[in-house]
Amino acid sequence: MKALVLERVRELSLRDIDLPLAVGPRDVKVAIDTVGVCGSDVHYYTHGRIGHFVVRAPMVLGHEAAGTVVEVGAEVTGFAVGERVCMEPGVPDMSSRAAKLGLYNVDPSVRFWATPPVHGVLTPYVVHPAAFTYRLPDNVSFAEGAMVEPFAIGMQAAARARIAPGDLGAVIGAGPIGIMVALAALAGGCARVFVADFSAEKLAIAARYPGIVPVDVAAGSLAAAVARETGGWGADVVFEASGSAKAFADIFATVRPGGALVLVGLPVDPVPFDVAGAIAKEVRVETVFRYANIFDRALALIASGKVDLKPLITGTFDFQESIAAFERAAAARPTDVKLQIRVAGAPAE
């Protein structure tokens, strides 16, 4: 099939590649409609690695996807041909200790689309376990279905935060994940969420949502903005979603005593961590790696209308324009939040 293949760092091609399409008894075959361009996809394109995940051979990109079921396995009872679906891209070993603990996202043997050496789904068809496939309600578009995956990260972060109704939240970073973390925190009970960034354009997009308070850190610190609002007390929960090591310099100044810090962004550079600052306030520190047992909840919130992700989709490309889509994503335009690629109708060969 045709696919968008990362050949090596900074080299993409749209070419034929041999991908497995045999449908097992518990699998479904899906015709891909829409795929989101994720920051991790772009990082593999520009750097060839994320942590210990290294691209050593050509790899198909893409893991945020929605499409239409075109074939079902012999033992599948929950799906029918023609149904619209989205897919959870990480498939664990369900017999692993992590899976048995409900932590399948940290299963060392999980196979996650577009994570070396596993191919992604920027291609016309994919075969996927029915257990990790979810039917799209009629009021959820393919474009929104492809947003469930990144929104699930925000949902995981909000769940880790243990938000209480009326909490004041703060998010560092107004990228796609940062904004979705803020929306998940509002849906989870936060009365307001401060979102901090240097990009006035991204802050303007975030500020369209009721309950989000933008903070331009080029003009003043997040800690100062939160202190003014809380009489110096601090935010109940702070989410670090930028992945910038600089964000950690005074991060505990923003958290209230006994509050929570949730780490979502994955820093590339070493992080200065103020252990004394954390201890002095007895701050609870939580970490987020993807998500587990939350994909259906993310989809349900989108379907309910309580979370509208459509304003975050700032560009849609045809499959034949996939390379251009990645070049634009790598350029990191300040007005771009989420770019998507429409695969539907692309020839398989």
DSSP secondary structure string, 74-133? TT--S--TT-EEEE--EE--TTSHHHHTT-GGG-TT-EETTBTTB----SSEEEEEGGGE
Query: Are 156 and 141 found together in one domain?
Result: no
Task: Based on the fold, state whether residues 315 and 242 are members of the same structural domain.
Answer: no
Looking at the fold, whether 211 and 166 belong to one and the same domain comes out as: yes
For the entire predicted model, the pTM comes to: 0.96
Task: Tell me, yes or no, whether 82 lies in a domain.
Answer: yes
Residue 254: C-alpha distances to residues 31, 137, 145, 213, 216 (Å): 46, 39, 34, 15, 15
Q: Are residues 140 and 158 in the same domain?
A: no
Question: Is a pLDDT exceeding 80 seen at residue 348?
Answer: no
How many structural domains does the chain have? 2
Whether residues 142 and 7 share a domain: the answer is yes
Q: Do residues 19 and 2 touch, judged by C-beta distance below 8 A?
A: no
Decide: 155 and 51 in contact? Cβ < 8 Å.
no
pLDDT of residue 347: 72
**In the prediction, which pLDDT does 147 show?**
98
Q: Is residue 349 part of a domain?
A: no
Q: Which residues pair with 11 in a beta bridge?
A: 8
At 272, which CATH number? Answer: 3.40.50.720
Cα-flanking dihedrals φ and ψ of residue 70, to 5°? -120, -10
Neighbours of 97 (CB within 10 A): 10
Instruction: Please give the radius of gyration of the chain, using alpha carbons only, rounded to the nearest integer.
Output: 20
Kindly state whether residue 247 falls inside one of the protein's structural domains: yes
Any idea what DSSP says for residue 217? T
Same-domain pairing of 143 and 157 = no
Q: Do residues 333 and 21 make contact, with C-beta atoms less than 8 angstroms apart?
A: no
My answer on whether 136 and 12 are in the same domain is yes
Q: Give me the domain span that covers residue 253.
A: 151-287
**Structure confidence by residue, pLDDT tens digits, 282-317:** 999 999 999 999 999 999 999 999 999 999 999 999
Same domain, 66 and 102: yes
Least confident of 194-198, 202-206, 233-237, 268-272: 268-272
In a domain, 303, yes or no: no
Contact between residue 67 and residue 148 where contact means Cβ atoms under 8 Å apart: no
Distance, in Å, from the CA atom of 126 to the CA atom of 268, rounded to the nearest integer, reads: 31
Q: Is 348 among the domain residues?
A: no
Spell out where 276-342 has E strands.
284-287, 313-318, 338-342
